[in-house]
């Protein structure tokens, strides 16, 4: 079955770049799905970060757009997230998911990223 | 402040039917599909309802979704203790050009 797994540093310093990778298994990343990032600050609700299709379509959260890059790496069945100039407000559990531009139907387990010096 | 409005809490007793609401606007719920997610503490969300009222494979038919103009609802019939969780609604917002969520409803089974 389809599985997704997030990976990346659990601690990032303020003003630096948060980088995460999502590895997809059980399905090619070139399948006709969007690949999605969500996040959830500790004790708070869900927030959509952005969605990308391997064919090139990408959507970013308006509040993060100026700092955010989402990319697909088809040769490795991975997609990634880079968020620049992070602050404590970016501390969250980050989830990757398969879905469409407007939902996620298969989610990874999530990875906590803390922004702190 | 979430774009979609959900009551912070709901409760019911085993066997009861409970509903929870999700209120939006003309730029989101009216013109787009609504999705519902179930999340237990410390775990990833699970898609419970898609395209307003469709259940993914494996989701019991005790869960149902509906939409009416600027609002949507999730209903759970035959409430069970294992339904105690957070429930989030989500949709696309045409003005923001992005996905938006409600703040979530914590369901307590008494």
Q: Which chain B residues have a beta carbon less than 8 Å from that of A107?
A: 44-47
pLDDT at A101 over 90: no
- Say yes or no for a CB contact (<8 Å) between A48 and B56: no
pLDDT digits (tens, 9 = 90+) for B15-26: 999 999 999 999
- Mean pLDDT confidence for B27-37: 96
Distance CA B93, CA B34 (A): 11
- Mean pLDDT confidence for A87-115: 96
Pick B47's closest partner by Cβ from A45, A60, A105.
A105
Identify the H or E element spanning A12. Answer: strand A11-12
pLDDT at B69 over 90: no
Percent of chain A with pLDDT over 90: 97
**Cβ atoms of residues A117 and A86 within 8 Å:** no
Q: Which site among A4, A22, A45, A57 would you substitute to test the B interface, given the most B Cβ atoms closer than 10 Å to its Cβ?
A: A45
- Mean pLDDT confidence for B73-98: 97
Would you state the pLDDT for residue B1? 83
Q: At a CB cut-off of 8 Å and minimum separation 6, what does A115 contact?
A: A11, A12, A13, A14, A18, A86, A87, A88, A89, A90, A91
Interface of A with B in 21-60 (CB under 8 A): 38, 45-48, 51, 59-60
């Amino acid at each position: 079955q389809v599985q997704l797994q997030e990976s990346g540093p659990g601690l990032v310093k303020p003003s630096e770049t948060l980088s995460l990778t999502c590895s997809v298994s059980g399905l090619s990343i070139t399948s006709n799905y969007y690949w999605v990032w969500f996040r959830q600050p500790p004790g708070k609700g869900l927030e959509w970060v952005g969605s990308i299709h391997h064919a090139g379509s990408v959507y970013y959260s308006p509040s993060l757009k100026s700092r955010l890059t989402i990319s697909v790496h088809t040769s490795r069945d991975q997609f990634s997230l880079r968020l620049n100039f992070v602050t404590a407000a970016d501390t969250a559990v980050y989830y990757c998911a398969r879905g469409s531009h407007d939902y996620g139907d298969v989610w990874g387990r999530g990875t906590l990223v803390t922004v702190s010096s | 402040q979430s774009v979609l409005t959900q009551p912070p809490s709901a409760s019911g007793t085993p066997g009861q039917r409970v509903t929870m609401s999700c209120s939006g606007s003309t730029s989101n719920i009216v013109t787009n599909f609504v999705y519902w997610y179930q999340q237990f503490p410390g775990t990833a969300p699970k898609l419970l309802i898609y395209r307003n009222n469709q259940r993914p494979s494996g989701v019991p038919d005790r869960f149902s979704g509906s939409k009416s103009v600027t609002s949507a609802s999730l209903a759970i019939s035959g409430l069970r203790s294992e339904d105690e969780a957070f429930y989030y609604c989500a949709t696309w917002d045409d003005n923001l050009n992005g996905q938006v969520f409600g703040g979530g409803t914590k369901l307590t089974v008494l």
